[in-house]
Structures are given as structure tokens and as C-alpha cells.
Amino acid sequence: MAALNATFACIVFLLLLFSSTNNCEAKCFKSIISFGDSLTDTGNLIHLSENSNYKQQQIVQCGSLPYGETFFHRPTGRCSDGRLVIDFLAESLGLPLVPPYIGRKNVGSRNFREGVNFAVAGATALNHSLLEELGIYNPQTNVSLGTQLRWFKEMLSSLCQSSSECKDFLKSSLILFGEIGGNDYNFPLLGGMPIQMVQSMVPLVINNIGQIINEVIELGAETLIVPGNLPLGCLPAYLDRFMSTNKNDYYDPNTGCINWLNEFSEYHNVMLQVELNRLQQLHPHATIIYGDYYNALMQLYLSPQKYGFKSAIVACCGGKGPYQVDISTQCGDSSANVCDDPSTFVSWDGIHSTETAYKWMAQSLISGPFAIPHINELCTFKVYTT
């Protein structure tokens, strides 16, 4: 599967590069509109705990210390010790940090003129009822990408007086579309579902993501960043769950990551890029950017010391074991272990990254080779030097 994925990836790269070349006109953005899951949530899941219409954990893991300790010095609902990729993108554009939709929507739509975030920790691309038909249960929330699209439409109806006004607003907005889809795989894989069954879901996940991107473009969006999935085989939660004594073909000798899980992530990402190319051909006026989170993070896994990390595949915050995660102890529990310096770790809690790693990912999207086309060709971004 790895060889096939590599071939597809090369083809998709060339297609995306070719199809996007004429769309890279210089433009700046007046707001950021975001969809996604815990990689992007800036507080929606916490606010949903006050609404009985949405299922969520009784205690929201990311809503307690040490989450938020590094930058905000308090929990904000971000699943990290500090800022996320979306925060660094906003700061780079000179925009305020993007507020969550839930909890702010009753204050007044004017608050969303410079950005709004619909991402919810635990959200899936597929509707929860479809996942349950497949035997997959989400313990965190019943919010899906479809739910976020509905919120997006509600926001537009309160913000704009006409279709043309909404299109003008969206034309000047940068749309961050995920990462989304990871939880559709996390719940079944970590729950023990065979990889063959989970892999059969990929076309469903990709098709749903594509349909909703298409609808957002038809409503007026013109510039979208769509990140791919992470290298699952490098995440401490997966390394702990699928630990093996087979060292030869099971683990990558250069990273210590699990090969078959990373091959699965690459398969999703290849299929996503094929879909983005189809959408780009369908909407030549739009600029659809593939955000290569996989390879951006892989640089850190391959050479952690080069980038100032002492550990890439061990969690900063969690339980015991070789990867500092275990099923009985979560980051945020009173019994959890927390490292002294999160900036020297890539992984924060076994699934999510540290602020330092997210900063690297944001920099890689803005000025590095991990966005096609490069985002800094579209607008002037502040470049971080520290």
C-alpha cells in the first residue's frame, strides 16, 4: 500500500500544483472562518456542555489545567498547553484570535466580522447516526461536520442582509477546513476495529468532506485551507495501544512510528488530495490549499533534536509506560504526570501536539513547502522568528 500511496501522492501533487497555479493572486484576509475538531477547537466543546441538545463528556478533558498553562495560563478549551495552528495563523494575519461560535453567538454577530470558529473537539466528518450504524460510538460529542455547516449558515443569516453581502464577506475570509475526519478513525481504531473495516470508511469520509467544502464554496468562499490527517503511527496514544515486540517491519527504524498506521494516514491524505483536485477543477475561481500536516510533523519525528525537541513520540502530559500514556490516566487528571518544559515535546497528551509543535506546523503552512499552493503567495503574513 505504501508504494501505491507514493505513486498517487506524486500524481496528486502535480495535479494540484498545475490546477492552482493561476489562482495564486495576491490577496489579504479580513477574517478566518474555521471548521474542524480538537486540533482547531478554541472553546466550543466547553460551551456545549451548557447545552443539553449536544452530547459530550461529563467532564471536558481540555477544560482543566494543565491545558492552556503555557500561553493563556488557564484552560480555554484548546486541547494543548497553549496556542493552536489557527491561533498562529490569526496572529500572522494581524487578526484577533478566532472566537468559538458557541457561547459567543448570543452576544451579537458583530463579533464574527473578524473570525468565527465552528470546530468542536471530538467532532467527526460523518454524521453520528451513520457512524453508529457502522458500530462506531463517539464518547465526546454528537457534533459532525454537517452540524458545523448548519451553524455556519445560521451565522451568515445573522451577519449578512443579502446573498451578495455574504459573498463579499466570504470572499475576504480565509476558510480553515479542519483537520477533520481524524476522529472518524480514532474512535474505531483505538476501540479495536480491524484496520480493513476502518479503511473501507475512507471514501465515505472523503466524499462527505468534499460535499461540504463544495457547499461552502457555492455560498461564496474563495480561499480554503484543507489539512490532511496526522501520522497516526507516531502519536503516543496509538504507539501505546498497538505496542508490539515485532521490531523489523512493524516500526520505522528512523522514527519509531508504526508503519501500517502511517500508511493508513497516507491513504486518507492521497484520497483527500484527489478530491480537492476535483473540487479545484469544478471551481477554478477558488483557491483550495492542501495543508500537509502529515509531512510537516514528520520532519519533527525524523529529527526532533534538530528542531529543539528532546522527545517526539513520548507525551508531555499523561500516565505511565514508555510513551507516557495509559488508558487509566488522562492529561488533566489529578494523577497525571506533566513534563517540566512542554516546548521540548512534540506531543502534549498523546493525541494533540504542544504549542511549540503547532507553531512549527503553522510556520510550515505559511512559508514552508507544506501547503500547495504556498499561503504566503496569497497574502502578507507576519513571520515568526522566535
List active site positions: 38, 349, 352
Phi, psi for residue 144 in degrees, rounded to 5:
-120, 180
In angstroms, the CA 52 to CA 54 distance is 5
Locate cell 488508558: which residue?
Answer: 327
Is there a cis peptide before residue 373, judged by omega within 30 degrees of 0? yes
| Alpha-carbon dihedral sign for residues 96, 100, 103, 108 | positive
* Closest by CA position to 241, among listed 128, 327, 361: 327
Q: Give the number of other Cβ atoms within 10 Å of residue 15's Cβ.
A: 18
In angstroms, the CA 30 to CA 171 distance is 9
Q: Amino acid identity, residue 125?
A: A
Q: What element of type H or E holds 371?
A: strand 371-372
| Alpha-carbon dihedral sign for residues 61, 63, 66, 70 | positive
Locate cell 508503519: which residue?
Answer: 259
In angstroms, the CA 129 to CA 364 distance is 36
Rounded to a whole number of angstroms, the distance between the first and last alpha carbons of the chain is 39
Locate cell 463544495: which residue?
Answer: 214
Q: Which long-range contacts link 133-137 to residues 24+ away (Cβ below 8 Å)?
A: 134/188, 134/201, 135/188, 135/193, 136/184, 136/187, 136/188, 136/191, 136/193, 137/187
Radius of gyration of the chain from Cα atoms? Answer: 20
In angstroms, the CA 330 to CA 349 distance is 8
